[in-house]
Amino acid sequence: MLPLPLIALILGLVEGVTEFLPISSTGHLILAGRLCGLEGARAEVFEIFIQLGAVAAVVVEYRAKLLGLVRGLADDPAARRFTGSLVAAFLPAVALGLLTHHWISTHLFGPITVAAALIAGAIAIVVVERWKPAAVIGDASAVGPARGALIGFAQCISLWPGFSRSAATILGGLLCGLERKAATEFSFFLAIPTLGAATVYDFLKHRDALVPGDLLWLSVATVVSFLVAWASIRWLLRFVATHDLRPFAWYRIVLGLLVLAAFR
């Protein structure tokens, strides 16, 4: 196993780069953990906990809009509607995740299943980009509860490690008629409750797997994740303004095939 400080740096970088790109942060973290020699329940705590850094990056980037939402809950119908949309999108994956968490952790956290999910997600990106409906919503805050729920059901696919929460929610948004930037921003907002809840749940469940000294390096990895994820958010918004998602699909296919060749 590599020295823990180096592992913390690597995992923080991987999480920060991949969390919001449609290439699967969980899949990359599983593969990175294997290559670093960090496996089992202890590895899962690292992989899940450092998502807090990515959540913090969204909160900081959209702090003004989030503060406006909180202030508007009492008397702004638009703020209440958008908050309801996020709740509707959040609940399906939470319910299914609680029911299937143990089975997923036991059977799907491995390089072969991750590779299969990477390739399946790539195919989904190509198909949706080719046959998505015309966009009718140009702003994430205009998403209503019905569309939010549909995006939430799409997010359930990301419970398969390697598929990508970001890919599932952005593709769900595109299928619901959102412009690419609006779908991407809705995915960012949805990350706050989704990743926040998953982090707290997994940390409380598996914290006994940590050894003395791990909390320090978990914190370091989380800070690195925050800084890199913040930059990644800004880059992705600029990218989707002028590009579709198919370059990510080709990357996923290449990586998936390399993993299958390495671990077959």
Res 151 pLDDT > 90? yes
Q: What are phi and psi of 178, to 5 degrees?
A: -85, 145
Whole-number Å distance between alpha carbons of 206 and 63:
31
* Predicted pLDDT at 84: 97
Helix (H) or strand (E) holding 169: helix 165-175
Res 127 pLDDT > 90? yes
Q: Which residue has the higher pLDDT, 198 or 138?
A: 138
* Predicted pLDDT at 102: 82
Q: Which DSSP string do the residues of 82-135 spell out, in sequence order? A: HHHHHHHHHHHHHHHHHHHHHHHHHHT-SHHHHHHHHHHHHHHHHHHHHHPPPP
Closest by Cα among 256, 227, 23 to 125: 23
For 163-181, the pLDDT digits (tens) are 999 999 999 999 999 999 9
For 198-239, the pLDDT digits (tens) are 888 888 887 788 888 888 989 999 999 999 999 999 999 999
* Predicted pLDDT at 210: 82
CA 188 centroid distance within chain: 9
State mean pLDDT over 13-32.
94
The model's confidence at residue 143, banded by pLDDT at 50, 70 and 90, is very high
Q: What 3-state class would DSSP assign to 244?
A: coil
Helix 40-49 vs helix 51-61: crossing angle, to nearest 10: 0
* Predicted pLDDT at 30: 87
Closest by Cα among 69, 93, 110 to 168: 93
* Predicted pLDDT at 1: 83
Percentage with pLDDT > 90 across the chain: 77
Whole-number Å distance between alpha carbons of 23 and 170:
12
For 28-85, the pLDDT digits (tens) are 998 898 889 887 778 888 888 899 999 999 999 999 999 999 999 989 999 999 999 9
State mean pLDDT over 99-113.
87
> In angstroms, what CA-CA distances link 227 with 53, 62, 117, 222?
8, 15, 27, 9
> What pTM, to 2 d.p., does this model score?
0.95
Whole-number Å distance between alpha carbons of 77 and 66:
15
In terms of residue numbers, what domain contains 168?
Answer: 4-263
Tokens at 256, concatenated: 């998936």
* Predicted pLDDT at 201: 85
State mean pLDDT over 3-16.
94
In the block, residue with structure tokens 């703020």: 79
* Predicted pLDDT at 186: 98
* Predicted pLDDT at 242: 94
- Average pLDDT across the chain, whole number: 93
Whole-number Å distance between alpha carbons of 62 and 60:
6
Number of domains in the chain: 1
